[in-house]
Amino acid sequence: MRILTYYEKTVLEALKNGPKPRNVLFKELCPKTMSIKKLQTTLNELEDEGRIICRPRRIGESHKWTSVYALPKHRHLLEADYSQIARAVKYLRLELCRNPEVEEVAAKIGEDPEGVRKLLFKHASELRWKPPTPEEKEEAKKLREKARKLAAMIKYSLDNEIDLSEISVEDIKRAEFLLKHQFESIKNEDVGIIGIILGSGFPPPPERKERSKKEATEATKKLRNLKKVEP
């Protein structure tokens, strides 16, 4: 086994207490101990030899990613968190109207897709998850369109016109999700073209009172209750 250089020892010492993002290592070690170029070269060499590991991680909710470095004994600290994955699957299932892809879950929580893949397949049964098929993706597009129409009807005070026989409790849940998380994106035009609104056959009034986000969410709860007591 070769003797470690001063720079390599310095990097390993910096990582002894747990994983650190690349920018944190840069702030701690550059330029006082070594140049940015030297640090990156040292990180690459240590990773190639298996003395450290590196995982990509998204920065907050942005589309930017960074690298996080750790000693092999801290590998478990870089693995995707099950509770995060469970929340992401639940959220994306409502948003997409289908089971999400591995990459979609990974992007949502800002984790490495391979780590997410392992946990998703390991806990697939309890998460009620499986990779979506092309047919399910096509069906999801129709369900999302229906959910947007339903959400628009609720947002623009048209829920008294809804035919409950044409919708399910799941449809209402999806509409409620849109009203809660994507309220501003729902427009009056989403109600649909004249005469084709969930089979009810009436035109969308262009000047209908727009409810507040809170009022619209309350209206979906009333619809849920009405649907549950149907024979």
Kindly report, residue by residue over 149-172, the tens digit of the pLDDT: 899 889 988 888 788 888 899 999
Shared domain for 149 and 65, answered yes or no, is no
**Residue 105 neighbours by CB under 8 Å, 6+ apart:** 85, 88, 89, 92, 116, 120
List of E strands, 18-128: 20-21, 53-58, 65-70
pLDDT band at 49 (very low <50, low <70, confident <90, very high): very high
> Token digits for 215?
């009022």
Shared domain for 163 and 216, answered yes or no, is yes
Flag whether 193 is in a domain: yes
Closest to 94 measured CA to CA, from 211, 191, 20, 178: 178
Flag whether 1 is in a domain: no
Shared domain for 89 and 157, answered yes or no, is no
pLDDT band at 195 (very low <50, low <70, confident <90, very high): very low
How far is residue 138's CA from residue 62's CA, in Å, rounded to a whole number?
28
Flag whether 33 is in a domain: yes
Helix (H, G, I), strand (E, B) or coil at 19: coil
pLDDT band at 204 (very low <50, low <70, confident <90, very high): low
User: Do residues 178 and 190 make contact, with C-beta atoms less than 8 angstroms apart?
Assistant: no
Based on the structure, what is the number of domains in the chain? 3
> Token digits for 158?
């048209």
Cis peptide before 31 (omega within 30 of 0): yes
The pLDDT of residue 207? 57
Shared domain for 163 and 208, answered yes or no, is yes
CB burial of 17-29 (b: ≥16 within 10 Å; e: otherwise) equals: eebbebeebeeeb
Shared domain for 96 and 37, answered yes or no, is no
Sort residue 229 into left (φ over 0), alpha (ψ -120 to 50) or beta. Answer: alpha
pTM (predicted TM-score): 0.65
Flag whether 163 is in a domain: yes
**Which has more confidence, 197 or 16?**
16
Shared domain for 73 and 92, answered yes or no, is no
Shared domain for 43 and 118, answered yes or no, is no
Domain span at residue 166 reads 134-228
User: Do residues 102 and 131 make contact, with C-beta atoms less than 8 angstroms apart?
Assistant: yes
